[in-house]
Structures are given as C-alpha cells and as structure tokens.
Amino acid sequence: MAGEEAGSRIGRGGLSVGGWDVAPGPAVGAPAAFVEEAQRTFAEAAARAGLRTKGFRFGPYRAAMHFAGPAMERLFTRAIGHLEASAESPDLTVSYFDSESTGVAMPAPPWGRDVYLASGEIKGFNTDQVKIHFRLGFDILECIDIARSCGVYWTPTFRNVPYWEQSFPMRPMINWWLQDRALQPIHAGAVGVAEGGLLITGPSGSGKTTTTLACLDSDLFYAGDDYVLASLDPEPYVYSLYCTAKIEPANLFRFPHLEPFVTNRERLAEEKALVYVPEYNERKMIAGFPIRGIVIPRVTGQRDTFVRPARPADALLALAPTTTRHLSGTGPQTVRKLFELIRRIPAYELHAGTDLRQIPRAILSLLGGHR
Amino acid sequence: MGNYRINRPKVVADIFQDEAVAVNFDTGRYYGLSGTALAVWQSLEGNSEAGGIAAELSRRYMAEESQLQADIDAFLDRLIREGLIVAEELVRSAGTGEAADGPARAAWVKPELQVYEDMQDLLLLDPIHDVDETGWPAKKPEAESGAGV
C-alpha cells in the first residue's frame, strides 16, 4: 500500500548505539514522501467533511485553496477575498484541514522529538524543494513540495488558529514557492494610485500601519498594511496580498471610522484590532501599482509631517530583517531580492506628525514628482 | 601571511552608497559597515591578506602604521567571530608598505561593526515540549500569546 511504502522510505525504524536509541536520519526522499502522505491524509479528510475549493490571484499567479469542510475555509479566505479568481489550472495548490472538524488524524511524524527548531523548521526535513515547518505552541504544520507546487496546512483543531494567522493566509507557502522566482513577499504596507505608489516599511511599532491607514480616506488606494508582494521584473511593482489591517488597540482612537469594522473587538486585550478593509470601503483596495519609492516612517509626536531622503542602507535595514524574521525558511535568495529592490527605488523618511491628514498629502506630493 | 575571504555563500552582502549591509545566514544577523569599516570590507574583495589591506588603507587614511595594522587586525578578528569572513591562515603579515603620494588622506577612525538584528534564537532547537499520543508536539499548558507579527 502507498502508506506502507511511504513508511519504509521514511525509515521509521531506529537503531541502538551504546544502549541509546538513535533516531535515523531521514531517508533520501523522506521530506517529499511526507508531503505526499500529508496530501493523502487531506484527501481522506475531504472525503469525510466535504471538499471546498476557492481560487485566488497572487501577483501574476493563481492559487487553489482546498478545504476539508467549512471550518478552515471560514478562517482563511476572508483576508484574500479581494483577490478571488478561478481555481482552474492553478500555479500553486494548498490544502487545509484540521483533525477536530474532519475526524481525521494526521499520522505520526517520521521525525524524532528533538528536531523542532524555534523557527518552526523541522531539522533534517527541509531541502531546496521541500519545506516542512511546525509551529510549536500553535500546533500548525505547513509543508510544501515546491517542485510539485502543492502544500498542506494542518492543525489539530481549527479553534486554536490565532487571529494573526488568519490575517495572512498562505504566507509561508507563497514565500517558499516564490523563492526562485522574481516575486517576493515583503513586510511592508503599500499605498498609491494606478500610476504608482510607495512601500511603507519598518518593524512592528514603527508607524507603518498608522501611516498606511492614514491614507484610506484620501485619493490614495490601499494595497496592504502588513504584507505585500514585490516584483522586480520588468520594473519594481507591488501586488496586494491581504486586505487586512491590524491596529494596536492603543492606536484605534486615531481611526474612529474603522472602529465599527473591527472583527475581534472582544479580544483586544490580547490581539491587535483586525479590520478587513473592503468591509470598510471596497473601493479603496487596489490590486497593485508600480513602486516609486520606499518610505520609512518615523513617529515624531509633533503635529506636522515632512519627508526627506533616506539612505538606501537604512531602507534595507528597515525592510529586510523584519521580512526575513517573519518568513521562516528564508534563504539568501530572499535577501538578494530585497537588496535588488532597494537598489532600484528611492528611499525616504516620512516624519509622521499627529495631524494624520498631512500624511497622504506628503505621499501624494512625493508621487507627484514620480508620475 | 593572514589570508581572509568573505564567508560566501553563508554571507550575502552588498554596498548601498556609503554603507555595506551584510547578512550571515547561519546566525540571521544583519550588519552595517560604513566609513573605515566599509573601506576594510571593500579591501577584502580585492585583498586577501591583512598586510595588503593595511597597505591599501594607509594610502587613503592618515594613521600611525602600527595603529592602523592593530585596528585592522582587531576588526578582522571581529568579522571572523561574527562569521562574516573566514581566515585561511592566521599568521600576521610583516609590514604594511609605504604610503604612496596621492590625494589627501582622511583621518583614520577605528572601524566599527554595526549589528542590526539577531535571529539567532530562531535557529536554536526548542526541546521543551511534549508529544501527545498522536506523536505530535502538544500545546503548552499555558499557551503563549499570539506574536506572529
């Protein structure tokens, strides 16, 4: 049977050395075999709970998301609802299931207990083409066979999927799948118009979300506040990935017009306020635009906003560490793409004042010089 | 002679105007090198020995020869410790050569390495977990708060 063949290839038998059990290293092909086994398990779950499929665009590509039953579908499609597309002939397929709602357990892992890195990587079960990560504490397994463009997302129960996980579905899968392609998910917001716009970057707490959301009620359009997709081929271009905005509860007072649209109001003691921007105003979403520059917000506490040129190295150091930290399994290819992006676009510091209306004016003024 | 090379492919680096940014993928750390640190880094691309680097920089910077060499050696040791360069031999060179006539030399400042990010903890094993009867790690009894971003 296929399962037994997978088991023997994975090499679940151990050996003893000096009285100590030594877990064997993974057999060649073991990572890919595990992804295949995960897919078979998903198929079983879908047969029990019902298969549901949704298609989405990401950049010039399309993904098909398969769900075993409705529980996971509800969690993972809202943040990319603005990118819904046909699921026919997808470039990437990701299958989602949980054991509680489907009644199907994930087979025991073929690795020992001491291979879980803090990053989520399963040591010894990641190659250039296969990524297998398990997030301890959240019990989330993500695995992908890049060569076959298919991945599986599993968790014991849909009830424990954190809110922030729902705000950026497929983030690691998309990052891994794009590793050898020209696109790159980046930790940045993006606002602009069809002719061009700006990336807004910086670590959490630097004013990126405030700067991005301050543009919602202006002539600028919104491509994202947390993660977007950057392309360098043929020119720097950004694609929207997620329509969410996550606001620190302490900053919610700055956006009273968004308060009615907060979806997790009862959990703001533990979570950022989560808003789906299309629910506020779907006309403010934009699918993408040419990148005319990158902005590093600096919160001043003063009233007025002003812009000045930034050093490219500062822009890189605002963008790259936070991007690579959040995208587990990131390798040198990602950093090279970020280097190239910074090399090709001007960088600015936006000294953001407390009069938020000045922020989009400053950005529009910058773009006026680049259109 | 001490020979050094940038620790590729583990290290990815590029120069942006007046600063080099380097990333060590073994540790996840980002580094900035500007001023005389950048000058040393650029010299590493063309020179492999500490004496050659010192000779090149003595043509660009005013400094006592011994101070220049000592600062460069200390900086190279730091780059080695951070995994940014590797030494192929650790024997120090004998001399730096004489400064040639040329454009006015800038004042020498001891090179410093800026460290920007430490993801080292993400590369460590996390052995403190239990597996349940399914073989998968069990959720910790007191779950950590969501800190994905």
pLDDT at B126: 57
Of A313, A331, A332, the CB nearest to B17: A313
Give per-residue pLDDT as tens, A161-175. Answer: 998 889 999 999 999
Q: What is the residue-wise DSSP string for A246-284?
A: EE-GGGGGG-TTTGGGBS-GGGTTTS-EEEEHHHHHGGG
Of B19, B125, B134, the CB nearest to A313: B19
Q: How far is CA A277 from the centre of its chain?
A: 17
Q: What share of chain A is helix, strand, coil (3-state, %, to 5)?
A: 35, 30, 35
| A311/B121 touch (CB, cutoff 8 Å), yes or no | no
Higher pLDDT, A291 or A113: A291
| B124/A118 touch (CB, cutoff 8 Å), yes or no | yes
Chain B residue at shortest CA distance from A123 = B125
3-state secondary structure string, B15-59?
EECCEEEEEECCCCEEEEEECHHHHHHHHHHHCCEHHHHHHHHHC
| B129/A321 touch (CB, cutoff 8 Å), yes or no | no
Q: What percent of chain A has pLDDT over 70?
A: 92
Look over chain A and give the mean of its residue pLDDT values, rounded to a whole number: 90
Which residues of chain B register pLDDT less than 50? 1, 91-99, 118-120, 141-149
Q: What percent of chain A has pLDDT over 90?
A: 80
Complex ipTM > 0.85: no
How many angstroms away from the CA of A139 is the closest CA of chain B?
6
What does chain A come to in residues? 371
pTM attached to this predicted model: 0.86
Query: How far is the C-alpha of A118 from the C-alpha of A135, rounded, in Å?
Result: 8
How many angstroms away from the CA of B118 is the closest CA of chain A?
9
Give per-residue pLDDT as tens, A207-264. Answer: 999 999 999 999 999 999 999 999 999 999 999 999 999 999 999 999 999 999 999 9
Q: CB–CB of A204/A215 below 8 Å?
A: no
